[in-house]
């Protein structure tokens, strides 16, 4: 298994819906691998913008397109992959230290993001070269 496979995970939740409609439940530490400290959502983006373009040294995330679709490109400095988020029962789990770009938002896209941490600008790496250097230094330390 490649390292990226250990850093990201596709999640699929049950639909508890009935004749009244659908219901999906995501509980911290149960349906996702962390306690939820923060929720934010992105809407009103379109297919001309790229969001994200950063890595977080501490935060873990689960991304869910609760409405519409988007694509997420994940990258660990050695490998990258693109995932289409296209249904409300699907989540993309990202461990810390994964670089991510979100793009190709459909006009109705609402991208819900659950996070393991409160917002802290100091844990963001927003420069890709700096990210590569950081990942390299992490690898050296782990040796």
> By CB under 6 A, is residue 51 in contact with ligand TYD?
yes
Cα–Cα distance for residue pair 93/106, rounded to 1 Å: 21
Closest CB to ligand TYD among 118 and 136?
118
Report the site for ligand TYD in 79-138 (rule: CB under 6 A): 119
Is the separation of the CB atoms in 50 and 102 below 8 Å?
Answer: yes
Residue 9 β-bridge partners: 93
Closest CB to ligand TYD among 48 and 141?
48
Which uninterrupted H or E stretch holds 27?
Answer: none
Closest CB to ligand TYD among 51 and 71?
51
Burial of 44 (0-12, 13-18, 19+ CB in 10 A): exposed
CB of 52 to ligand TYD, least distance (A): 5
For binding to ligand TYD (CB under 6 A), which residues are involved? 38, 40, 42, 51-52, 119
């Amino acid at each position: 298994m490649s390292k990226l496979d250990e850093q990201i995970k596709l999640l699929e939740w049950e639909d508890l819906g009935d004749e009244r409609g659908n219901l999906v439940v995501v509980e911290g530490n149960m349906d996702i691998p962390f306690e939820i400290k923060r929720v934010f959502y992105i809407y009103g983006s379109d297919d001309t913008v790229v969001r994200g373009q950063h890595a977080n040294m501490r935060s873990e995330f689960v991304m869910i397109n609760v409405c519409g679709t988007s694509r997420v490109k994940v990258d660990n400095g050695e490998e990258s992959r693109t995932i289409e988020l296209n249904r409300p029962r699907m989540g993309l789990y990202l461990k810390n230290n994964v670089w991510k770009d979100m793009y190709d938002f459909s006009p109705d896209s609402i991208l819900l993001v659950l996070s393991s941490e409160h917002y802290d600008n100091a844990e963001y790496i927003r420069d890709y070269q700096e990210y590569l250097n950081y990942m390299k230094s992490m690898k050296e330390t782990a040796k």
